[in-house]
Structure 1
């Protein structure tokens, strides 16, 4: 079963002659299978990603499950519901939970730093899981900033830590991150490209197995800077510095897409950091910005991209060849099919879209027969 709430809100732009037909979507209410097992409850959802098996991986913060929802976790229990789910959960295509692991207690056992404020999940070409953290200053409870990215096996074995806990050392330092938001690993070089963007203002690249620093760049491929530059005001002059580097995605043809969220733009680079082009979307958007993340359509040419627009509570379909919009839909709300603090959107291997919000993931299925 599904509802056409998302589809009915869709605005499709005029297509060029012979242009590929654009997919249209409606909410799939059958995903995931509910309730979750073991009386699990979710905290803030930090990241989602679809792997090579078409499985959805979800990363959330168990420590942020509301206390009123943890009755079953008390000793003695104060209610039948609930307990915090492990931090990393794998779902199959039908929405069944396959495995789950991770969290601060696992970090203590295996001897690595767990993110204070989790952010981003990525599954690399070897099946390994990457997560980061977005906190950039000491919190009210004394918890330290996040200057790290972590890599695990699919079963949760700790493999690599890049950086560590603590304050930023600046956007030119190669030993620490600062509020890193996302990562993509290039199969051709086994390099990890990190969007180091909540605190720093750069893309930084490391060897994905050793953590050895390779290179870095800021907006327009220039050296990154920490100068206090205002966010984009919608005018003709675009900022020369990133303002919240929130996503990074590498296409099959080697182009690297970087979301400059609070500047409402997508910048494109070669893998060596050479600037190629940029595109601004909804330039008068303030608040959360209009360019949250992008995901690539799973055909050979990666014809389309889906872009999350958090400032306008919308899903945007782009034509990758020229970064133009071909469809836009969605609006604010807490009902099924609406968006509440939409944070990330990802294509699966069939072109369906998963969307994440603070405490839920929704699946949008294709309804007009378009296939990758």
Structure 2
């Protein structure tokens, strides 16, 4: 009687987040499992509200940085700013927000300023170990990445807020989606992007061009592509968007080819290594939206956000096999609508951000011994 009750309680706690499917050879403690922390983050000050989440990352201190889109808020959401005010709430928060692991807001800044043009639609944020914040955008002329101090002072930029020049131009970007820093080489990798069809690499200090490549290491092409068809031969070029880029400690570079439902893996020089497909019949906006590397010494897993199927996958990095997942479409805590961006801290906690009309950030706490 007591045993049956205990089992039923355990099931009730696990199922809402999506039960993890474990391989026969793995023990439960080896696989990351998570529970949503519905109290994170704490309420924002100043009557603030956030819009669509264009990016999320974790810095070396374990602080969570969020880039959101104030201009995505509707009149009823920003009613306190209208003249006359429509309602008591709310006021758009500044686009860059820094939180600690407990959900306290530490810093907020961003938007147009002297000496630079702010992006038209915020997309992608990275905080490097030298104390710089990199921000991109994916509006029509958002063909640059901007570099700021931690306090929001403009430093420099790569590219310009002006028309793109195509996937083989070395001076201008094409609606870049995300960046990643190779701290040893002092290089910045750009998933480029919603307009271009490539990964491009620059010196992170000088902004000097280093190299670029397309899918399979090919020279990228801007030729018109057919709509994705899971029954057709695999596309030899990246689709739009090239949505993420991540660099593992062993030097492998992981790229989200979102619309083609795949992760492609490269060496740092652009040499193609392998690819993994996920939910290959997924149409719409595709199944591979973002990635994070698991923080154990060997970075055993990739954590992948799928904004079309609205789930998070736990993937073995060596062979691409899926060992667990959680989430589903919905509005409740632990569910998603267009989960767009994600990050993992050193404690194994996952942070997610949603776009479209979800406009939400969530935290999922690690509940297994996957880091030990």
- The TM-score, its normalising length taken from structure 2, stands at 0.91
User: What is the Cα-based RMSD across aligned positions, in Å?
Assistant: 1.9
- Establish whether residue 267 from structure 1 lines up as the match of residue 264 from structure 2: yes
Structure 2 distance, partners of 1:214, 1:330, is: 39
SS at match of 2:30: coil
CA distance in 2, matches of 1:259, 1:297: 16
Q: 1:5 to 1:86 in 2, by over 3 A?
A: farther
What residue ranges of structure 2 are gaps of 5+ in the alignment? Answer: 1-11
Contact 2:22/2:28 (CA < 8 Å) preserved in 1? Answer: no
Q: Give the Å deviation of 1:6.
A: 6.4
1:65, distance to aligned residue in structure 2 (A): 2.3
Q: Partner of 1:87 in structure 2?
A: 95
Q: What is the deviation of 1:236?
A: 6.5
Aligned to 1:223: 219
Note the C-alpha offset of 1:310.
1.3
The 3 A distance-change label for structure 1 pair 68 and 278 is: same
Q: 1:6 to 1:261 in 2, by over 3 A?
A: farther
Secondary structure of 2:178 counterpart: strand
- Give the Cα separation in 2 of the matches to 1:233 and 1:194: 27
Which of 49, 53, 57 aligns to 2:65? It is: 57
CA distance in 2, matches of 1:154, 1:181: 20
Aligned to 1:252: 249
Higher relative contact order (CA 8 A, sep 6+): 2
Q: Displacement, 1:17?
A: 5.8
Aligned: 1:360 with 2:357: no
Out of 222, 230, 235, the position equivalent to 1:234 is: 230
Per-residue deviation at 1:281? 0.8
**Partner SS, residue 71 of structure 2:** helix
After TM superposition, give the deviation of residue 11 of structure 1 in Å: 3.4
Q: Given the alignment of the two structures, is residue 337 of structure 1 paired with residue 334 of structure 2, yes or no?
A: yes
Structure 1 distance, partners of 2:172, 2:40, is: 38
Name which of structure 1's ranges 123-132 and 280-289 shifts more when overlaid on structure 2.
Answer: 123-132
Q: Check conservation: 1:50, 1:123, Cα contact below 8 A.
A: yes
Q: In structure 2, how many angstroms separate the alpha carbons of the residues matched to 1:249 and 1:50?
A: 13
Report matched runs for 1:188-227 at 5 Å. Answer: 188-227=184-223
Whether contact under 8 Å (2:28, 2:368) holds in the other structure is no
The equivalent of 2:5 in structure 1 is none
Q: SS of the counterpart of 2:255? A: strand
Structure 1: gaps spanning 5 or more residues: 137-144
Contact map agreement 1:182 1:246 (CA 8 A) in 2:
yes
Partner Cα distance (2:274, 2:29) in 1: 23
Conservation of the 8 A alpha-carbon contact between 1:10 and 1:328: yes
Q: CA deviation at 1:24?
A: 1.1
Q: Confirm or deny that 1:118 pairs with 2:122.
A: yes
Distance 1:191 1:279 in 2: 26
Is the 1:13–1:325 contact (alpha carbons within 8 Å) kept by the matching residues of 2? Answer: no
Deviation, structure 1 residue 251 = 0.4
- CA deviations on 1:215-266 (whole Å, 9 max, x unpaired) are 1000111111111122442237211000021000000011000010000000
Deviations 1:321-362 (A, max 9, x none): 112111122111112211011101211111111111121101
Q: Distance in 1 between matches of 2:24 and 2:249?
A: 24
Q: What is the distance in 2 between the residues matched to 1:74 and 1:236?
A: 50
**Offset, 1:370:** 3.3
Quote the Cα distance in structure 1 between the aligned partners of 2:288 and 2:255: 9
Structure 1 segment 1-372 matched on structure 2, within 5 A: 4=13, 8-16=17-25, 21-34=30-43, 36-74=44-82, 77=85, 79-104=87-112, 107=113, 109=114, 111-136=115-140, 145-235=141-231, 237-243=233-239, 244-358=241-355, 359-371=359-371
1:15 Cα offset (Å): 4.7
Aligned residue for 2:76, secondary structure, equals helix
State the TM-score, normalized to the length of structure 1.
0.91
**Which moves more between the two structures, 246-255 or 232-241?**
232-241
Q: Which has the higher mean CA deviation after the structures are superposed, 232-241 or 341-350?
A: 232-241
Q: 1:361 to 1:39 in 2, by over 3 A?
A: same
